[in-house]
Amino acid sequence: MNPVIEAIKARRSVRSYKPDQVKAHDLAAVLEAGCFAPSAMNGQSWHFTAVRSKAVLDRLSAQVREVLAGLDNPKIRERLNDPAWHAFHGAPTVVVVSGRQDAAFHVTDCAAATQNMLLAAHSLGLGSCWIGIVARLFEGPPAAALAREFGLPDGYRPLYGVALGYPAGERPAAAPRMENTVNHDS
Ligand SMILES: Cc1cc2nc3c(=O)[nH]c(=O)nc-3n(C[C@H](O)[C@H](O)[C@H](O)COP(=O)(O)O)c2cc1C
């Protein structure tokens, strides 16, 4: 099979990681793949922050837990009952993807960059997972302090996280894809 299509189909969200840190050259290759995403009017309206400190990731996860616990969502509450719950699934590296808010399509640009990184990670034998809940951290009062801590340029807002690490255990099977999501003009 064509290797790009093979990678697209074989990539899965990985939620169990070995503690080994991602090698610097693998991380650099993933970040470069993010930079080569398409973007509206070539705006490249993303900024990537690679967070590799376990202490910081554990603290961010605890902060996400607090935010989620305040939501009126029984399904989320049930998940939080698991003491092992971790926003980043224990991945040793998380790339926080932030968008330049004055770019009209920054959310879309950042989503394209995120998918590029997931695919690049897969092609390098890394596990990865798109982490949407990271944005929740930047909706509340700690947002400004966190943006400073991350060294974000002015005007950027975190949107997504990309959890990265070497997968532990079996690679998960793909969830079945919905049918009837394609039609043709004839
Ligand atoms: C916008 C977006 C946000 C997501 N947020 C999370 C998240 O916070 N935590 C998580 O474990 N997975 C998250 N995912 C991963 C999805 O759950 C996953 O892609 C989906 O279940 C399909 O599985 P697959 O990636 O293995 O094909 C997110 C995916 C997207 C596209």
Residue with tokens 């966190």: 146
The residue whose CA has the least distance to atom 10 of ligand 1 is 131
**Does the C-beta of 15 come closer than 6 Å to ligand 1?**
yes
CA distance 171 to 177: 17
Domain count of the fold of the chain: 1
Q: Is residue 185 part of a domain?
A: no
Please name the helix (run of DSSP H) or strand (run of DSSP E) that holds residue 99, with its range, or none. strand 93-100
**Does the C-beta of 80 come closer than 6 Å to ligand 1?**
no
Cα distance from N-terminal residue to C-terminal residue, the chain: 27
Chunk the chain into consecutive blocks of 10 residues (it has 186) and report each block's average pLDDT, rounded to whole numbers: 93 96 98 98 97 96 90 89 94 97 97 98 97 84 82 92 95 90 93
CA distance 53 to 62: 14
The residue whose CA has the least distance to atom 19 of ligand 1 is 13
Q: Which range marks the domain in which residue 29 is found?
A: 3-165
Q: Is residue 10 part of a domain?
A: yes
For residue 115, which of 133, 96, 94, 129 has the smallest C-alpha distance?
129
CA distance 28 to 150: 18
**Does the C-beta of 107 come closer than 6 Å to ligand 1?**
no
Q: Is residue 174 part of a domain?
A: no
| Token representation of residue 17 | 């990681």
Task: Say what the pLDDT of residue 141 is.
Answer: 66
Q: Is residue 43 part of a domain?
A: yes
Q: Residue 124's domain is classified under what CATH number?
A: 3.40.109.10
Q: Is residue 172 part of a domain?
A: no
Cα angle 161, 162, 163 (rounded to 5 degrees) comes to 110
**Does the C-beta of 12 come closer than 6 Å to ligand 1?**
yes
